[in-house]
Chain A
Amino acid sequence: MWRGRISLLAAGATLALIALLAIKTDMVSGLPNSLDPGPLSAAHSHFAGASSCGTCHTAFGTGARGWWQSFLSAKALVPAAEPAGGQDAAAPAAQPASALAGSAPAAQPPVQSSTHRLSAACTECHGFGGQERQPHNRVFAGRADLGATDCLMCHTEHKGRVARITTLSPAQCQSCHKQTFKDFAKSHPAFHANFPYDHPQSTRFDHATHFNKHFADPSAAKNLPAGGCVGCHTAGQESRAIRPANFATTCAACHGESIAKRDFVFFRWPEIETSTITADDVSKACGVSADAKASAPGTPAPAFSAVSSDPPTAISAYILGMPADGAPDYEKPVQELVGAMMSDGVDPLVAAARERLGAAYNDRLFAGFNAEQARQAACAWAANQEYMPPGKDALSGWRADALDLRYTRPTHADPVIRAWVDAVAAMPVPADPDDKARLQVVKKELLAADGPGQCLKCHAISGPANGPQIVSWQVQLRSAAPQTRFDHRPHLNLLGPEKTCTSCHQLGDGSAAVVSAGLKPITLATCTECHAAGKVRDDCRTCHIYHQDHAFKKRMVQDAK
């Protein structure tokens, strides 16, 4: 009997305490509260105050009726929030199905048309680069079976101020990914064959050849970068990418002079069999001085002997749309051009280039061109003479010299040469077969590794061989795997002086596995030396990222103001 009475008393006291402690709903006061589910994480701890719980919990503060409605809502779902700022609409391009190769999802829940109401509260503030409710915030092409996701599948709150609610366990990743493994060292899939060099190299540099051959040459000893790898690579505060230093620091000591050795000859006064420019034309356009050796009026013309015996340059032939291998075919347009240049300087040349190159034309192509010098050179060629530039020393930049209009690059990263390389690379394939052939010759000369400036000796070019191409002028380091991360910094400091870069990046030995960088691929074994069970952290999120471009939404920032 007493036991029954005490039990009733206990139940009554419990109910009374619940009611008493639920009256004051302020979680900040520190007083016990029967609604208190535990402290929020540090990141969310600013949601404090009398109505703070309502930020996420829609039932908070709605009274008994709101509680009842919330209790009865069986699915506890609310319609999916419209994408803020068009985020969902601006979803990233569909990824290839191979992106999840070997990791196809396990049994997925049916796609829901609505989202968990707490998840909806999360995405009020948190935005992502892709679709919020898609796995990895991405749309995987051909993977319609991938179900929608909710924030609460991985993140739960009220686990204490120091709780790290973003930390996921490998098991959580493997709730979708079929290829399950418990141990990174034992069961992680092998890296790609040429990892991490299996991406287009923006600059070509063969480490193996340089270290094994060139740097071993005693004559190059004074030019070698000091400190080994860090002599060229800036291993400072950079995390994922260790960029090489600039050309002047790394390459110029050996290659600085050679890149300026070969000029870009844009125009060459070719061999002319029949001159159509008369002495009168020259005299009228250029004045008496330019006509010094021309025949006097009324006297019979001597037999014509061309001052040039060379064909026109490939680039000028392409610009003027003429063949470069037969004087009868090219001498008319060439003489017309020079005739125009006698009076207008460089303008006719620029106009012809602008018309021919179309969208690929760039104002930098003829930057620094001296119009008067061009005019004087045209006068000399029209008079069947070589042009003699004033002064003894040939300066860099555009200049006329003898029978040529040529460009001497003053230094590395010259904008004019770069503009010409870009323009020629970007030219679409002409429909006319003759034009197509001429463009191929131009590309072969200008885009060759030993072409003017030797740009393409190091800078990579990408795109179809017979279509528009792009030259990589800047070093572009690996970015082909947006869902992975790597930080060089802790690795550099931890491995010690005897085990630095070459612990992982080993010089190639000439075998087939060596890629263009001249380095051996990094294998899984390299990482598992340290990252394994019982050693350094080896869970999925050590290297892999779930969300794409996480950022706070504008609304959240505005509300905070």
Chain B
Amino acid sequence: MRAVNRSSWPVWVGALAAFSGLMVWHRAPQLSIAPSFVTGYILFALVVFLALYSGRKRLSMLPVGKASVWLTLHLVGGALALALFWLHVETIWPLGTADRALAVLFYGVCLSGVVGYGLQLWLPGRLAHAGREIIYERIPTEIATIRGQVEKEILEAAGESGNDTLGREYLETLAWYFAQPRFFWSNALGGRSAEHWLQRHLTTIGRYLTEAERVHLARIAELGAEKRRADAQYAMQALLKRWTMFHVPLAVAMLTLAVWHLILVHVFAR
């Protein structure tokens, strides 16, 4: 889902208007209350709201609004939080150990969020064009099946030709490829390293095989391509899942530190 579309632009406009109003208020110092307290509390409330998005995903059975609305609010709220953070801190890099740690975590959450949003825009389209769709949790089984078929082909080739050339090649080289998902980043980023690697090794061994063995080699090549597509599915789906392994824990750590910051402010600065 794109951050700005026909249904989300009113939310963006509303957020922009709210922030503009807050900024105008902030620039005209108030005698009755310190602006940093107001911006701080608004920021804290906004961050808590953003954190609720994770809970919404876990409790999808609850009637608390459409997921697309939540995502829109999460994206808009995230952008607003970054602007509010700068308004609150009045600098990009604050002073003090606790405040700097809080800033590091905040920027970490923002960065991971932006990366995650980018991945969600980019990868689903590629997944759709990456061949047969496989559920993430079933990919290891799928790879094990392919590996079994490759080994079966090797055994049949050895039985028919009486040579172990193909078998030795498998043990020395191809077994590594078929053991588990390989070429993670190449597959995730749309590279062709796996294809080239497999092609190179199969072409090399093909020179030393008989005609009968080459039939089995062609079958192994097809299974290798199948494995490559499974690897691509694995890499892209893993990226879509793993970025939240950074985003969410960082957000939790940031919220913890934000609570500490709030305590310090109430105890010392007020």
Contacts and interface: CB of A to CB of B under 8 A. Distances in A.
Q: Which has the most chain B C-beta neighbours within 10 Å: A21, A33, A37, A154?
A: A37
Contact of B253 (A14, A35, A118): A14
Given A33-B97, A153-B29, A14 B267 contact: no
A71 B267 contact: yes
Interface string B223-267: 000000000000000000000110011101101110010011011
Interface stretch (B30-38, B40-48, B74-82, B129-137): B30-38
A37 B98 contact: yes
B257 A14 contact: yes
B6 interface: no
A33 B249 CA distance: 23
B138 interface: no
A13 B96 contact: no
Given A10-B249, A70-B266, A70-B267, A171 B95 contact: no
Nearest to A12: B256
Contacts of A154: 29
A176 B248 CA distance: 45
Given A14-B257, A59-B268, A109-B32, A2 B245 contact: yes
A10 B34 CA distance: 32
A34 B260 contact: yes
A75 B268 CA distance: 13
Contacts of A59: 267-268
A3 B98 contact: no
Q: Which has the most chain A C-beta neighbours within 10 Å: B96, B101, B245, B256?
A: B96
A510 to B, nearest CB: 47
A3 B257 contact: no
B195 interface: no
A14 B97 contact: no
Nearest to B90: A159
B99 interface: yes
Contact of A108 (B31, B253, B255): B31
A71 B31 contact: no
A32 B257 CA distance: 15
B97 A10 contact: no
B contact face: mostly helix, strand, loop, or mixed: helix
A18 B99 contact: no
A530 to B, nearest CB: 26
Contacts of A11: 252-253, 255-256
A39 interface: yes
A176 B31 contact: yes
A187 B244 CA distance: 53
Interface residues of A, number: 48
Contact of B270 (A21, A76, A108): A76
A73 B267 CA distance: 9
A38 interface: yes
Contact of B97 (A36, A70, A76, A147): A36
A38 B261 CA distance: 13
B96 A153 contact: no
Q: Which has the most chain B C-beta neighbours within 10 Å: A7, A67, A147, A174?
A: A7
B59 interface: no
Interface residues of B, number: 32
Contact of A175 (B29, B94, B252, B263): B29
Contacts of A118: 269
A152 B266 CA distance: 15
A7 B248 contact: yes
Given A35-B98, A171-B29, A172-B29, A18 B245 contact: no
Contacts, number: 97
Given A7-B252, A37-B96, A67-B267, A18 B260 contact: yes
Q: Which has the most chain B C-beta neighbours within 10 Å: A3, A39, A118, A147?
A: A3
B28 interface: yes
Given A7-B249, A7-B252, A33-B97, A57 B268 contact: yes
A121 to B, nearest CB: 11
A15 interface: yes
A32 B96 CA distance: 8
Contact of A38 (B28, B29, B95, B250): B95
B245 A6 contact: yes
Contacts of A147: 31
Nearest to A108: B31
Contact of B30 (A33, A34, A175): A175
Contacts of B28: 171, 174-175
B238 to A, nearest CB: 12
Interface string A1-28: 0110011111101110110010000000
Contacts of A153: 29, 31
B200 interface: no
A32 B97 contact: yes
A172 B31 CA distance: 9
Contacts of A39: 95
B231 to A, nearest CB: 21
A36 B98 contact: yes
A37 B99 contact: yes
A38 B99 contact: yes
A174 B250 CA distance: 41
A164 to B, nearest CB: 14
A38 B96 contact: yes
Contacts of B29: 153-154, 169, 171-172, 175
B66 interface: no
A160 interface: yes
A37 B252 contact: no
A62 to B, nearest CB: 9
Q: Which has the most chain A C-beta neighbours within 10 Å: B27, B34, B96, B267?
A: B267
A47 interface: no
A159 B31 contact: no
Interface of B: 27-32, 34, 94-99, 101, 244-245, 248-250, 252-253, 255-257, 260, 263-264, 266-270
Given A38-B94, A38-B95, 6 more contacts: A3-B248, A6-B248, A33-B97, A153-B31, A159-B95, A175-B31
23 contacts: A3-B245, A7-B249, A10-B252, A13-B253, A15-B256, A18-B257, A34-B98, A37-B98, A37-B99, A37-B269, A38-B94, A38-B99, A67-B263, A108-B31, A109-B32, A153-B29, A154-B29, A158-B96, A159-B95, A160-B95, A174-B28, A175-B30, A175-B31
Among all A-B residue pairs, the 5 with the closest Cβ atoms: A38-B95, A38-B96, A76-B270, A10-B249, A10-B253
